[in-house]
Structure 1
């Protein structure tokens, strides 16, 4: 790929040749496709997500493209990840996110793999503006910086954590153990609260009666 361009040095738009990439004309695309197919066919690997990351030259913010499925439940589940990302990233726009199956995009990785993988796999294109983003509720455009792009990447990772927590696949961190209140010490050492002194005194008398049986015999006379 040529930096900041969508075509290879041979002039091919690589995101339109996923259906039948040539090992000669599209070697990187061919290699990635073979790797994904090998992972998909490996019973030890559960391939759940494919995300193709692109920069957009006209639209603002970050947003996603997803697929359309006949299965309504699968279609609704596909919307969960971008909705969570919208909550975690102020520069991600769910309103700009769209789900389609346009014929012109049939050769994209999102469309091709969305039809190849099973119904537990979800394929997206993550688009991010070349220029700027607008935070919800404002009209001011904030220019993207290298740090802003990296922050969006961290928010994507955080969104995956939230996603798997919702699916009970990641153990939630244990809540801190609440501190127990310490028993109040008497205001003056050597004193006991009222109502407890009689029991202590009684125990002392019992000990005395056990250690001095003669005194007990005298008292009964």
Structure 2
């Protein structure tokens, strides 16, 4: 309008608290910096804005930042586990579940990253699923029930799963133990969510 731009927002619910209003101000600042033109849109690879997007450019950029020849983490897809459980643990290994620390690293304005269930450490996937007191007690009970050595609660989720695959048992028994371990992690996550979102103490 009159040589400028006017943003006309149609909110289903307008920003209300301080945090949302600050995000709105930041968004408006970002939009003001953008130059809109009448030319057609094209895909670009942000590492090289002078070229159109191509798989070759992506592969080249990735090869500059990662060792493409490194051995990836091996993950066992166990069909004795629920789909939600196995997908959850696969994501948890790489810290891709929405723990407080992961949300902050993705740019969310998390004021508190301390674990909401125990308040003793930063909330990471490893902390929620292995090392906080309630999880340790669960693992003690699980390992006693399965008659296997106690899991290393100070290690990573990937290390725990590797320990399970190295247990001297039959292939079928290892698959069963793996299924129980993965499903236990899924249940621990649901318990955490009930505590955080519903205030239920399990």
- TM-score, normalised to structure 1, is 0.27
Structure number with greater CO (CA < 8 Å, separation at least 6) is 1
Structure (1 or 2) with the larger CA radius of gyration: 1
TM-score by length of 2: 0.29
Structure with the higher strand share, 1 or 2 = 1
